[in-house]
Structure 1
Amino acid sequence: MTETPRYVLFPGRHHLLTRFQAEYLQRLADEGAGTIVWAVTSANHENTKRNPVPYHRREAAIERFSVETGLRSVVVPIFDTAPTDRFAQVTLKTVTVATGLELTPADTLVACSTPQVAALYEELGFAIAPVEADPALTVTPERPWDVLLRLAAGDESWRKLAHPATVDVYDRYGLPAVVRTVVNDPVVGDEGGLTATRDYRTYVEAFADAAERKWAAVRRYVQPGRIVDIGCGAGAVLELADRDDALHESDLIGVEVARHLYQECVHKKAQGVFRNANVYFYQRNVLGGAVLPDRSVDTTLTFALTHEIWSYGRQRESLVEFARRIHDHTVPGGVWINSDVCGPGDRTRPVLLRLTDDDGANPASPRTDLASLPSAEVAAYVGGLSTRAKLDQFAVDFAFPFAFEARPGGTVRLPLGQAMDFLTRKDYTDNWLSETHEQFCGLDFADWVTLLAEAGFDLDPASHPLRNDWVVTNRIAPVAQLFADDGAPMDWPTTHAVIVARRPRNS
């Protein structure tokens, strides 16, 4: 590198800029650096704990920073990639494609305080300016992420540490509230989903396959106007609503918390999948705060969602909070249609279960290390177990602990709810660690009646529990038999419910 670099490459997420960064970059400029190249990583991520601020707001703060400091800047978005030792090369090539600049060790200094990232550039011959990690500093400055965590914790001292350009952009666009909501969210993971172990490809395929059946079951209860699908996945149900001529003047709104699924919705809209011009998507966690104004929604749809709120939140407390939020945004006389799994009415009743043990392996004991394995290995291992051995493994991995008793004659004794939780989940080996984190039978239909009344809804007579006979016939009955505690054969119980809840017109 020449003694006076022409460029400073500054890679990072840059959610927040600090006064220290301004002073540090100014020193580099005083030494002759002409242009700061801001490589904004994870530019395609937003509304996640690791990346709470969208790229366009980060870019706006950098540009304002540049104007206020007089530092000449070029801002380049770097999309997230799978972990790779060639991340430095990917960043450099992206800069070249976006700007035409070919940064080399001869003319570029890399400003980076993360040792692992700095090492990637050092291997390419670049000199490193360590920014906050500079050993020559007498006082270690707070890193931008630490300042952002101050903001998330409600510590207003972040304003003194952040650069005024960041403070201005944050205040103008209400970003402090966004950051606090996302970073402190008790349900959503670091990457903007409920779980890090879900295979979203198989999830999208399964939901798309079932979309027509789900829509046909609830269409007659849908009221035109503003129609919101919460937990919309990749938008499969909204596609069907979009094709319904009777709803062509309705607004269709999808709300999805998982980043992968939200991005697929946005992609579909950009590709012209929807005919209706009034189709909108939001990446939000409804438990994190109101998404839509009070008394503004005619129909809310939720499919296979409420059991996730129960499982990843605080069980009934979270579900009541969710129901109240829906009640608040529903117009008087409006409707919430919920289709989901549902526990049997007597789910605590002890039952006997006989499971096939000749359809797979029967290890001496279940494994306790599946969480440390790649998902493909987990799927292969669990998929190779017998149905009886899967129960042993399920009891280890299930996030809602239960015990069962092995009985003479090859049966096991356990509560009916836990038996159905296992039997309705045992075949989801592709997403085993995700599925075992979710409880299907936390509520029965009577529990729903009580919960909805507590949230202020009236239950429509069309609401009903039901049994998915396809699942029973094809997945459960071939490998399992159910008996009462006295040994009498039992019929298979409720597995699902369709709930139509209305906000009273005078509320």
Structure 2
Amino acid sequence: MERFVLFPGRHHLLTRFQAEYLRGLGGTVVWAVTSANHQNTKRNPVPYDRREAAIERFSVHEGLRSLVVPVFDTVRTDRFAGVTLKSVESGLGLRLTPADTVVACSTPEVAAMYEALGFEIAGVEADRDPAPARPWDVLLMLAAGDPAWRELAHPATLDVFDRYRLDEQVRLVVNDPVVGEEGGLTTTRDYRTYAEAFEASAERKWELVRRHVRPGRIVDVGCGAGAVLGLADREPALRESDLIGVEVARHLYEECVHRKAQGWFTNPNVYFYCRNVLGGAVFPARSIDTTLTFALTHEIWSYGQRMDSLRKFAAAIYEHTVPGGVWINSDVCGPDGRDLPVRLSLQGAPKEPVPLDGLARDEIAAHVEGLSTRARLDRFAADFHFPLPFEEHGDSVELALGDAMEFLTHKDYPDNWLSEAHEQFCGLEFADWKALLTDVGFEVDGASHVWRNNWIVDNRIAPVATLSAVDGAPMDWPVTHVLLVARRPLNT
């Protein structure tokens, strides 16, 4: 009877100890590579094809007979062992049983799942005392810049990492201060509703920017599910252009790839990358004609290091833009004079915010939905990741104009309440933007302007709020958005 060693794991990095241990077990090694559909995230920085290449090279180097099968990521489940065995059977036509298979696994919780199915467990690193460094520990040594990782990693990993410069990618992804473990900016966002909202506004966004787009290589950074690029794809004037989408959120990137595979785009030169531009250059210097960003820069400001992160982002865009090329940025914007003290009268009464710890997203949404506008201010001030001080003045509150607009433009997002509370919409006003772009090297086109979303004002703000100066004089609602058209000078 042929003997098998089932070796489940993410296998981003292979070690010299693993080689020694597997040689001692004997039999055909079945590498079940989990999270095979994930890449470019803190939890899964290395794509599956590179992991598979290293495993095959490892097997040849060590004289092992190996079979490799991808296992797609699943939600956390106590049936993980069964899912993996079914993936092996589906992918390889091989039904592994306790009679012919030992499971190599050093994670006690996972090993217990296979034990419950009757499999013998080989503990790998857990079998040794002291335990040698596990592969993930070695990968973290790489990310931390410790050269000792090369002494522990197997030559097959070193070869693949060196040829494909994966060590640089791992460092960038694992050390990224902005992106979370799953590749998005936040774990509290409902990407379904987020994508639906972006899709609904795509035509308006495209109409706002299309006349400023320069043909050639066109990049949409933070492209969501690719809706704006889909509209660009239909423009006759751009039929010879390359259309490139960059998206950091894995859920949205995967939808872009799916749409391309389904023939959603007619232009054959449509490409998508799952990347974080803040993590390093995505494109060579002076290689992009038009960069588009929609509702992105306030997220970089909010989840990063404020102006430092935004300046780094703007500099990266400038660097990859050809002389004469353009960066078109559409986003929320703070009002002019955002520190001006104002009075805000709101519907309803104050209410002490209760803790939200342990509540599911839909429970939080229902709670926020049930609050009056005035009570939502108390809730928002408690949850907002930035200071939002205000003082009671009879039937109104006194606060800075920018803070007033932060609340009024956030208050109608209960479905993504905690995610939205992490984002500052009014961090910069128009003058700040012009100063930043000029300082980086761009020329600010005269088409750049601020504007007010009157639909939001008429339907969401004005019916429940009144704005006035501290002396009681009525005030008009300020601007809410900005369009920036920034060009790299031809002589650079």
TM-score bucket of the superposed structures, by smaller chain: over 0.9
Q: For residue 8 of structure 1, what is the amino acid of its counterpart?
A: V
Counterpart check, 1:203 vs 2:194: yes
Residue number in structure 2 paired with 1:173: 164
Shift, 1:154, TM fit? 0.9
- Secondary structure of 1:497's counterpart equals strand
Residue number in structure 1 paired with 2:138: 147
1:13-32 alignment runs, 5 A limit:
13-29=10-26
Shift, 1:323, TM fit? 0.8
Aligned partners of 2:161, 2:38: CA distance in 1, in Å? 18
Counterpart check, 1:36 vs 2:29: yes
Aligned partners of 1:401, 1:461: CA distance in 2, in Å? 34
Residue number in structure 1 paired with 2:410: 425
Residue number in structure 1 paired with 2:473: 488
Counterpart check, 1:398 vs 2:395: no
Distance 1:133 1:241, change over 3 A: same
Aligned partners of 1:369, 1:317: CA distance in 2, in Å? 31
Counterpart check, 1:465 vs 2:461: no
Q: For residue 259 of structure 1, what is the amino acid of its counterpart?
A: R
Aligned partners of 1:172, 1:367: CA distance in 2, in Å? 54
Shift, 1:373, TM fit? 2.1
Where structure 2 has 5 or more consecutive residues not aligned to the other structure, the ranges are: none
Counterpart check, 1:50 vs 2:50: no
1:108-123 alignment runs, 5 A limit:
108-123=101-116
Shift, 1:138, TM fit? 3.2
1:438-462: CA deviation from partner (whole Å, max 9, x where unpaired): 0000000010010001110011001
Aligned partners of 1:419, 1:368: CA distance in 2, in Å? 23
Contact kept in structure 1, 2:342 and 2:398, CA below 8 Å? yes
C-alpha root-mean-square deviation of aligned residues, in Å?
Answer: 1.1
Residue number in structure 2 paired with 1:444: 429
- Secondary structure of 1:284's counterpart equals coil
Query: Normalization by structure 2: what TM-score?
Result: 0.99
Shift, 1:5, TM fit? 7.5
Residue number in structure 2 paired with 1:59: 52
Shift, 1:140, TM fit? 1.4
Residue number in structure 2 paired with 1:340: 331
Contact kept in structure 2, 1:43 and 1:80, CA below 8 Å? yes
Counterpart check, 1:383 vs 2:369: yes
- Secondary structure of 1:424's counterpart equals helix
Aligned partners of 2:224, 2:133: CA distance in 1, in Å? 39
Q: For residue 295 of structure 1, what is the amino acid of its counterpart?
A: R
Aligned partners of 2:354, 2:153: CA distance in 1, in Å? 48
Aligned partners of 1:443, 1:367: CA distance in 2, in Å? 31
Counterpart check, 1:107 vs 2:104: no
Aligned partners of 2:20, 2:383: CA distance in 1, in Å? 51
Aligned partners of 1:378, 1:8: CA distance in 2, in Å? 46
Runs of 4+ in 1 over 6 A off after TM superposition: none
Aligned partners of 2:56, 2:200: CA distance in 1, in Å? 46
Aligned partners of 2:319, 2:203: CA distance in 1, in Å? 29
Counterpart of 1:251 (choices 232, 238, 242) is 242
1:195-227: CA deviation from partner (whole Å, max 9, x where unpaired): 011100001100000000000011111111111
Shift, 1:368, TM fit? 3.0
Counterpart of 1:69 (choices 62, 73, 91) is 62
Aligned partners of 2:208, 2:269: CA distance in 1, in Å? 24
Q: For residue 369 of structure 1, what is the amino acid of its counterpart?
A: L
1:368-399: CA deviation from partner (whole Å, max 9, x where unpaired): 334x3221111111111111111101111101
Counterpart of 1:82 (choices 50, 75, 78) is 75
Aligned partners of 1:95, 1:228: CA distance in 2, in Å? 39
Counterpart of 1:373 (choices 347, 353, 359) is 359
- Secondary structure of 1:352's counterpart equals strand
Aligned partners of 1:204, 1:236: CA distance in 2, in Å? 9
Counterpart check, 1:435 vs 2:428: no
Q: For residue 40 of structure 2, what is the amino acid of its counterpart?
A: N
Contact kept in structure 2, 1:5 and 1:109, CA below 8 Å? no
Counterpart of 2:393 (choices 388, 400, 407) is 407
Contact kept in structure 2, 1:8 and 1:111, CA below 8 Å? yes
Residue number in structure 2 paired with 1:498: 483
- Secondary structure of 1:301's counterpart equals strand
Counterpart check, 1:138 vs 2:125: no
Counterpart check, 1:295 vs 2:286: yes
Where structure 1 has 5 or more consecutive residues not aligned to the other structure, the ranges are: none
- Secondary structure of 1:292's counterpart equals coil
Q: For residue 22 of structure 1, what is the amino acid of its counterpart?
A: A
1:423-448: CA deviation from partner (whole Å, max 9, x where unpaired): 10111111111100000000000100
Query: Normalization by structure 1: what TM-score?
Result: 0.96
Q: For residue 323 of structure 1, what is the amino acid of its counterpart?
A: A
Contact kept in structure 1, 2:388 and 2:403, CA below 8 Å? yes
Contact kept in structure 1, 2:356 and 2:364, CA below 8 Å? no
Residue number in structure 1 paired with 2:6: 9
Aligned partners of 1:123, 1:381: CA distance in 2, in Å? 42
Aligned partners of 2:111, 2:403: CA distance in 1, in Å? 50
Q: For residue 380 of structure 1, what is the amino acid of its counterpart?
A: A
- Secondary structure of 1:414's counterpart equals strand
Aligned partners of 1:74, 1:373: CA distance in 2, in Å? 44
Q: For residue 190 of structure 2, what is the amino acid of its counterpart?
A: D
1:318-337 alignment runs, 5 A limit:
318-337=309-328
1:47-101: CA deviation from partner (whole Å, max 9, x where unpaired): 0000000000000000001101111111110000111111111110110011111
Q: For residue 318 of structure 2, what is the amino acid of its counterpart?
A: H
Q: For residue 251 of structure 2, what is the amino acid of its counterpart?
A: H
Greater mean deviation of Cα atoms: 105-114 or 236-245: 105-114
Counterpart check, 1:190 vs 2:174: no
Contact kept in structure 1, 2:286 and 2:320, CA below 8 Å? yes
Shift, 1:271, TM fit? 0.7
Aligned partners of 1:200, 1:222: CA distance in 2, in Å? 28
